[in-house]
Structure 1
Amino acid sequence: MLSAERFLLLLNHYRILDRDTEVEATLEELAGLFHCTERNVKLIIRKLEDEGWIIWHAGRGRGIRSRIEFCTSREQFLLDTAKLMASEGDYQKAFQLMQHHGDRTSARDRFVDFLNGHFGSDRLVDGMQAQRDIFRLPVYRPPVSLDPARLFFSFDSHLIHQIFDRLLGFDAREDKIVPALAHNWESSEDARVWTFHLRKGVKFHHGKEMTSEDVCFTLQRLADGQPNRFLLETMVAVTAIDSRTVRISLRQPNRLLPRLLCSAVASILPADLLQDDPERYWQLPSGTGPFRLNRWTAERMDLVVHEAYFQGRAYLDEVQIAVMPEDIPAETRQKWGQIMASDTRMAVRPEQSWGKIQTINHGCSLLSWNRRKSGPQQSVAFRQAIDLAIDRQGMSRMSGDHCYPARSYMPKTHQHPALERYEPDTAIRLLEECGYDGTPIKLLTGPMQLRDAKWIKARCAEIGVPVEIRCEQQQAVYPPDLVMEADCILLHLVFAEDEVCELEIYLQDSSYVRQHTDNALAVWVRRILDLLFSAETSEERRSLLRQIEQRLLDEHQVTTLIHRTISTYVHPSVRGIDINKLGWMDFKDIWLVSDAQESAVTSLSSPL
C-alpha cells in the first residue's frame, strides 16, 4: 500500500480530481514531497507507472519541464483501493480512506454499493476445484471475549456456539435436553451425583481427541473464580472415572444441572493447549464446534468449516465477519444486511421475490435501579413514579414499528393494552409524597441504547426529574465502580437460554441487576434459587423464577421498557436461515441452492 499512499500524496498536492489531467513537475519538487532523494523519486515514478496510475513525460531540452499525466481519477483510485482493502479484510481502513480523501467525489457511495453485493453469501469456483460457499457479514462491535467462562454479551455467545460444543444441547423447539458431547447421562436418586458418558472420536480443531480430561479441566476452571462460576456453584468435585466417563458431585440436589450444562458458558475447552500456553490459545482458540477460528484481528474474523465435526459437516465452507466503523451513518448502514442482535438496524427494502422471516427477540430493554447507593432512587415511590412517567407505547413508536411495551422479561404471545400504565400526573403526585427534592439522576448506558436514554430523559423532565446521561463504550463489562456510581443503568437483556439466562441476572458476578439489588432482596432471591435447584420439574422451576421476577417488578428494582422483533429478508437461493434467540442465524444450518446462476446475497434487517 506504500505506492497507493504516494499516489495519494500526488493527488492531494496537485489537487487532482479527474483522469487525463497533466501537471508540470520536477524531480527536485517531488523529492521534497516524498522526503527522499531524486534517485529514489525515479524509482517511485516507475512503480506508479507500473500500477497504471500515471505517465511520466520527462522534459527534453532547455526550458522544457517534465509533466505527470494522471491516468485515473481520484474517485476511481479511491474506489479501487477501498475494494482491495475490503478484499483483505481492512474495512475500517477503507472507510477511513474515504473519510480523509473522498471529498468532492462519490467514491464513498460507490463503495457502499460495492459492499451491498460483497456482503451476504457467495459461491466461488476455482478452476476444476470444488466450489466454496462463503458467507460475509458486517457487524459494528467486535466480540469482547471468546472465553466461555467470561461470557457476557450475546454476540460473543453466538460465536462461542459456532466454535465450541457443550456436554449437552437444548432443543428449544421441542423444549428438551439432547445429547451433544455426552451421548448419555444419569444421576443418583437425590440428584447429588451426575455421570456423563462421552462420545468417542470427537476431535478438537487442532486434531486432539476430546476426553474426560478436557471436560474435568474445563468445569474445574469454570468453578475456580471465573465470572460465570455461578453455573457450577453447587459442584464440589468433578472426576474422570475413565477417558470417556465424567462424574460431577454436588453439595446439594441440583436437578437443573443438565440444563445448565447446555449453556455456552459450559463449552468444553482443550486442556493441553490451555495448560501449555493460555495467552497464545486465546488468540485463536480451538474447540470442537462446526467452525474453527482461522483469523481474528480488530477488523475481521474468519471461521472455516470443521471438516470432522461430529454432528455433520456444515454446508458453508467459510464465514467472514467484518467489523465496520461504528460511526457509519444509519442511511449508509441500511444499504446492506445487518444481523447483530445488539445493533441499531433500519429496514432494508427486499426484492419482491425474497422471503421474510420474523421472530420476537427473547428479552427486553430495562432500567436497573441501584439500591445500594444513597439517592432518590432508594424510594420505591420514586422508582414507581419513573415507571408511570414512561409512555411505553410512545417509546415503541419512537424505536420503530417492530417494538411493543414490556411488562416482563419475556415477550407474551398476547399483549393486553389494559395492562399498560402511563400516568404522568400520578407520577408527579408520588414524587411530592416521597419528598423528592429535584436531585438529578445519573443514568449509565452504551451507544446502542443512547437514543432510548435521551427519550427517557425527556419523559423524566416532564415530571420534574433531571437525568444526567453517561454514555460509555461497552467494549467490555462495565467495571464495578462505574456500575455502583450510577443511579440506574439502561440495558438490553437477551435470554438466549431461558432458565440459565435468568439465573445469570441474579448470580453472575458481572450482572448489573445483581450488583444493584439491595441486601434483603438478594437474601430472599438466594433462598428461592436454592429451592429452584432441587425442583424436580421445569414447571416448578419456572414458577419459582416468575416469583423472583414479579417481586423485582413489584418493588421496581427493575423497570421493563420494550420488546423488539427481528425481521430477516432472504434471497431465494439461500436456505436454512432461521433466527435463534440470540438474534443471529446458526451458520451450520445455512446452505445455497446448487443451481443458482449468480451470487446469493442475503439482506437482513431488524429494529434492534
Structure 2
Amino acid sequence: MLTAERYMVLLDHYSKIGGDWAEPREIEVALEELTKLFHCTERNVKLIIRKLQEEGLIEWSPGRGRGHRSRLVFRANRENFIIELAQKLAKKGEYRSAFEFLHQHEGDIHARERFIQWLNDQFGVEKQLAAGQSCRDIFRLPVYKAPLTLDPAHLFYGFDSHLVRQLFDRLVQYDQNQGQVSGMIAHNWESNETGTSWTFHLRKGVRFHHGKELTAEDVVFTFSRLKENSTNRWLMSTLQRIEALDSRTVVFTLLQPNWLLPRLLCSSCASVLPADLLTKDETAFWQFPSGTGPFRLTHWSPNRMELEVHAGYFLGRPYLDGVTLVFLPDDIPNSSKLKWEQLIVNDSRVPARAEDDWKRIETLSRGCSLISWNRNRLGPQQSLAFRQAVNLVIDRPGMIRASGKSGYPARSFQPTEDTTLGIHRHDPAAACQLLEETGYTGEPIRLAAHHLEREEAEWIKSQCAGIGIPVEVMYHSKAEMAKSAARESDAILMCLVFAEDEVCELESYLQEDSFIRLHMPPELSHWVFCIVDEVFASSRPEKRRALLQQIELRLQEEAQVTFLVHGMLNTYVHPSIRGLVINNLGWMDFKDIWLTSAPTAR
C-alpha cells in the first residue's frame, strides 16, 4: 500500500503541466526534486525508485553524472491503477481499506464507478465446482452493519437477531400469517388450568452442528442461563424453576400466570444452546457457536462471515450450500451503493438501479423510527410542553423526502389501517407557543443517533432550529448506542422493528438496555410493570392487546416518545432467486431461498 501511495504522489505531482491537468507518460526528473517530494534523503529516494521498478509501475533511466536529469516512464494508467489496487484490497477482504483508498482519490469519479460495478458483480449467486463434488450454490451479499453478538441472551439489534435465527432454533415459532404459535424443537406443549405450569415435549433427532443430539438438559441449561444474568432475562421474569422430567420433556413452573409464555419462547433470545460446549469453554464457544439451525458458522472476521449449510437440519435441508456476508463500511456514499445491497432491506437507504428483469418487492415495516426522551437526565426535555413542541414542529412528510427513503408519518409503534393515507400536519406556530409557556431559554439538547440515520437527524436539527431549539447531534456506532448513548444523551433517534408483536412491545419496556426503559422516570416504569403483569395473566389476546395499547397511549400522552416514520422496505430480486420473502426483522431467511437456472449476477 505504501508503494502505491508513492506512485500516486508521483502521478499527482507531475500531472500539472503548464497549469493544466494531464496524466504524465514520460518525464525528465532530478533526484533532488524527488527528495523534496518524498521528504527523504537521496538514498531513500533510490530505494523507493527500486521498489516501484520491481512492481512494474515505472521505468527509470538514471542520468549520467552530476546535474544530468533522469528519465521516468509511468507504466500504469492512473484510473486503471486505482481500480486494480482497490480490487486487490477487496479480494483480500480489506473492503474498508479499498473504499478509504478510493475516498482519498474521490476526484477520480470514473474509477470509483468502475470499481463499484466490478464489486457489484462479485455478489449474488456463485456456483462453485469442487473435484469429485456436485456444484455448490453460494449466496454472497454485502452488508453494512456487522453483528455485535451472536449470543441470544444478549441480543439487542435486529440484524444480530436475524443471524441467530440462521444458526439456532427455538422451542416454538410464531407464524405471522396464521396468527399462531407452531412447533419447532418442541412438537407439542400444554399448560395447567392456571397458566402457571407449562410442559414442552421435544422432537427426536434434533442435532447440534457438532453432532450432539439436543435433549431436555440443553433446554434447562439455556433458560437457566437466560434467567440468571443476561440483557434479555425479562423473558424469564415469571419463571420459578425449570426441570427435565426425562430427556425429551421439560416443565416450566412459574411464579404467576403467564399465558404469553409460548409467544415469549418464539423470540430469538430464547434460542436453545448446547450445554456441553458452553459449560466447557464459553469464550471459545462464541467464536464459532454451534446451534441446531439451518446453517453453521465456519468463518467470522471483521471483513466477512461465512455460513455453511447444516445438511442434517431437522426441518429440511436448505437449498443453498452456503452464505457469505461481506461487511462493507457503513459510511459508503449512497451513490456508491450496490444493487445486491437491496436484498438487505434493513440497510437500504435509496433504491439501487436494477435491470428491467429484476423483481421489485416492497412492504411496510412493522415498526417505526422515533425519538425517545431521557427524563432521567436534567435538561429542557424534562418539560412535557417542550417535548410536545418538538413533536409539533417536525414535518414528517418533509423528513421522508429529505431522507431519500419512502414511508409514511407514524402516530404509533406499528402501522394502522389508515397509515398509508399519509395524513400529518405539523404546527410550528403552536410549537412556539408551547415553548413560550415553558419559559424555555434556549438551552441546547443532545440527540444521539447512528450515522446511518444522519439525514433524519439533520432534518430534526433544522426543524428544531426553526423555533429556537439548538440540537447537538452526537453520532455513535452500534456498540456505543447500545452501551452509553442512552444515558448520556437527552434524546435518542432510534428505529424499532417488531418481529413478534406482543413480545417486541414488551421487550421495549422490559429489556434492561432498552432505550425506552432507560429513559422512563421511575414512576412511569412502575406503572408499566404493573400493566405488564396483567398482560401476562390474561389468556385473552384481545385483552392483552388493549393493555399494551394503554401503555402506548400513555407514552404518547406524556410525549415519552415522539413517533416519526413507518418506513417502506424496498428490495430488488434477481430473476434467478426464488423463495425470497422479507421476514418481520426486515430480512430474508436464507433457508427458504432457492435458485433457478436463469442467468445469475456472476
The reply to whether TM is greater than 0.5 is: yes
CA deviations 1:526-583 (Å, max 9, x no partner) are: 1111111011122221121111111111121111111111111112111111111111
**1:512 is matched with which residue: 495, 511, 515?**
515
CA deviations 1:160-212 (Å, max 9, x no partner) are: 11111111111111111111111111112211111111112211112222111
**1:573 is matched with which residue: 571, 576, 579?**
576
Paired position in structure 2 for 1:457 = 461
Contact residue 122 and residue 135 of structure 1 kept, 8 A: yes
1:46 to partner: Cα distance: 10
Paired position in structure 1 for 2:488 = 485
Moved more, 537-546 or 103-112: 103-112
Contact residue 197 and residue 253 of structure 2 kept, 8 A: yes
Report the CA distance shift for 1:422/1:102 in structure 2 as closer, same or farther (over 3 A).
closer
Paired position in structure 1 for 2:553 = 550
Paired position in structure 2 for 1:385 = 389
Contact residue 75 and residue 102 of structure 1 kept, 8 A: no
**1:244 is matched with which residue: 235, 244, 248?**
248
Paired position in structure 1 for 2:525 = 522
**1:93 is matched with which residue: 94, 97, 109?**
97
1:125 to partner: Cα distance: 3.4
Paired position in structure 2 for 1:259 = 263
Paired position in structure 1 for 2:299 = 295
Give 1:314's aligned amino acid.
P
Paired position in structure 2 for 1:605 = none
1:219 maps to 2:199 = no
| Pairs within 5 Å for 1:331-370 | 331-333=335-337, 336-370=340-374
Give 1:448's aligned amino acid.
L
Paired position in structure 2 for 1:532 = 535
CA distance in 2 between counterparts of 1:194 and 1:133 reads 42
Paired position in structure 2 for 1:582 = 585
CA distance in 1 between counterparts of 2:353 and 2:560 reads 40
CA deviations 1:258-289 (Å, max 9, x no partner) are: 11011000111111221111111111211111
Report the CA distance shift for 1:232/1:389 in structure 2 as closer, same or farther (over 3 A).
same
Contact residue 139 and residue 339 of structure 1 kept, 8 A: no
CA distance in 2 between counterparts of 1:8 and 1:241 reads 67
CA deviations 1:357-404 (Å, max 9, x no partner) are: 111111111111122233332222222222222222222232346211
Count of residues in Structure 1 that have an aligned counterpart in Structure 2: 589
Contact residue 342 and residue 448 of structure 1 kept, 8 A: no
Q: Which runs of 5+ in 1 are unaligned?
A: 602-608
Paired position in structure 1 for 2:330 = 326
Contact residue 320 and residue 593 of structure 2 kept, 8 A: yes
Contact residue 34 and residue 41 of structure 1 kept, 8 A: no
CA distance in 2 between counterparts of 1:313 and 1:246 reads 27
CA distance in 2 between counterparts of 1:165 and 1:296 reads 20
1:95 to partner: Cα distance: 2.2
Moved more, 134-143 or 339-348: 339-348
Q: Aligned with 2:567: secondary structure?
A: strand
**2:415 is matched with which residue: 405, 408, 411?**
411
Contact residue 354 and residue 570 of structure 1 kept, 8 A: yes
CA distance in 2 between counterparts of 1:37 and 1:401 reads 54
Give 1:430's aligned amino acid.
L
1:331 to partner: Cα distance: 0.7
Report the CA distance shift for 1:428/1:67 in structure 2 as closer, same or farther (over 3 A).
closer
Paired position in structure 1 for 2:600 = 599
CA deviations 1:333-361 (Å, max 9, x no partner) are: 15553344553511223222221111111
CA distance in 1 between counterparts of 2:45 and 2:201 reads 69
Give 1:136's aligned amino acid.
R
Contact residue 381 and residue 431 of structure 1 kept, 8 A: yes
Q: Aligned with 2:181: secondary structure?
A: strand
Q: Aligned with 1:122: secondary structure?
A: strand
CA deviations 1:67-108 (Å, max 9, x no partner) are: 887665454344334334333422223223434578658433
Give 2:322's aligned amino acid.
E
Give 2:451's aligned amino acid.
P
**2:123 is matched with which residue: 116, 119, 123?**
119
1:600 to partner: Cα distance: 3.6
CA distance in 2 between counterparts of 1:498 and 1:547 reads 15
Q: Which runs of 5+ in 2 are unaligned?
A: 16-22
CA distance in 2 between counterparts of 1:55 and 1:141 reads 43
1:424 maps to 2:425 = no
1:108 maps to 2:109 = no
Contact residue 30 and residue 68 of structure 2 kept, 8 A: no
Paired position in structure 1 for 2:20 = none
Paired position in structure 2 for 1:604 = none
1:402 maps to 2:403 = no
**1:195 is matched with which residue: 194, 199, 207?**
199
Give 1:564's aligned amino acid.
G
CA deviations 1:104-149 (Å, max 9, x no partner) are: 5843322111012112223333466311212121122211111111
1:484 to partner: Cα distance: 3.0
Give 1:189's aligned amino acid.
E
Q: Aligned with 2:319: secondary structure?
A: coil
Q: Aligned with 1:584: secondary structure?
A: coil
Q: Aligned with 2:507: secondary structure?
A: helix
CA deviations 1:442-475 (Å, max 9, x no partner) are: 2222212222122112222222322222222223
Report the CA distance shift for 1:207/1:426 in structure 2 as closer, same or farther (over 3 A).
same
1:279 maps to 2:322 = no
1:21 to partner: Cα distance: 6.3
Paired position in structure 2 for 1:170 = 174
**2:213 is matched with which residue: 209, 213, 224?**
209
**TM-score under structure 1 length normalisation:** 0.88
CA distance in 2 between counterparts of 1:485 and 1:396 reads 28
Give 1:267's aligned amino acid.
S
Moved more, 158-167 or 127-136: 127-136
Report the CA distance shift for 1:493/1:25 in structure 2 as closer, same or farther (over 3 A).
same
Contact residue 90 and residue 300 of structure 1 kept, 8 A: no
Contact residue 169 and residue 292 of structure 2 kept, 8 A: yes
CA distance in 2 between counterparts of 1:373 and 1:379 reads 12
Report the CA distance shift for 1:25/1:393 in structure 2 as closer, same or farther (over 3 A).
closer
Give 1:428's aligned amino acid.
C
CA distance in 1 between counterparts of 2:507 and 2:564 reads 20
Paired position in structure 1 for 2:500 = 497
CA deviations 1:477-515 (Å, max 9, x no partner) are: 4435x4233222111111111111101111000011111
**TM-score under structure 2 length normalisation:** 0.88
Contact residue 123 and residue 599 of structure 1 kept, 8 A: no
| Alpha-carbon RMSD | 3.3
Q: Aligned with 2:524: secondary structure?
A: helix
Q: Aligned with 2:341: secondary structure?
A: coil
Report the CA distance shift for 1:47/1:165 in structure 2 as closer, same or farther (over 3 A).
farther
1:589 to partner: Cα distance: 1.0
Contact residue 373 and residue 561 of structure 2 kept, 8 A: yes
Q: Aligned with 1:566: secondary structure?
A: strand
1:587 to partner: Cα distance: 0.8
Contact residue 168 and residue 181 of structure 1 kept, 8 A: yes
